[in-house]
Amino acid sequence: MIVFAANQAPDRLSDNRRQCLRRGAWEYTTAWSELYRAIELVLGRVPGQTAVY
């Protein structure tokens, strides 16, 4: 599971991230670029690398 959450106060952000990861989330993201990067990593692609078939 990848958690995509809205930006929050820094103290809440670290608490939420820690709780989500502790409960089994693979990643906790707050920006679209972080979310896309996490999805690429989960699917086994290297960010920025062109797929060869």
Question: Would you report the helix, strand and coil content of the chain in percent, each value rounded to 5?
Answer: 45, 10, 45
Query: Residue 52: pLDDT above 60?
Result: no
d(CA 14, CA 33): 19
Assigned domain for 24 exists: yes
| 52 vs 25, higher pLDDT | 25
Quick: pLDDT tens for 8-29.
777 788 888 899 999 999 899 9
Contact 8, 16 (CB under 8 A): yes
Quick: pLDDT tens for 22-51.
999 989 998 899 999 999 888 886 666 665
Assigned domain for 51 exists: no
* Domain with 14 in it: 2-42
Backbone phi, then psi, for 47, in 5-degree steps? -55, 130
Strands (E) located in the chain: 2-4, 27-29
Residue 12: its pLDDT value, please?
Answer: 82
Assigned domain for 6 exists: yes
- Rounded to two decimals, the pTM is 0.67
How large is the greatest C-alpha to C-alpha distance in the chain, in angstroms?
45
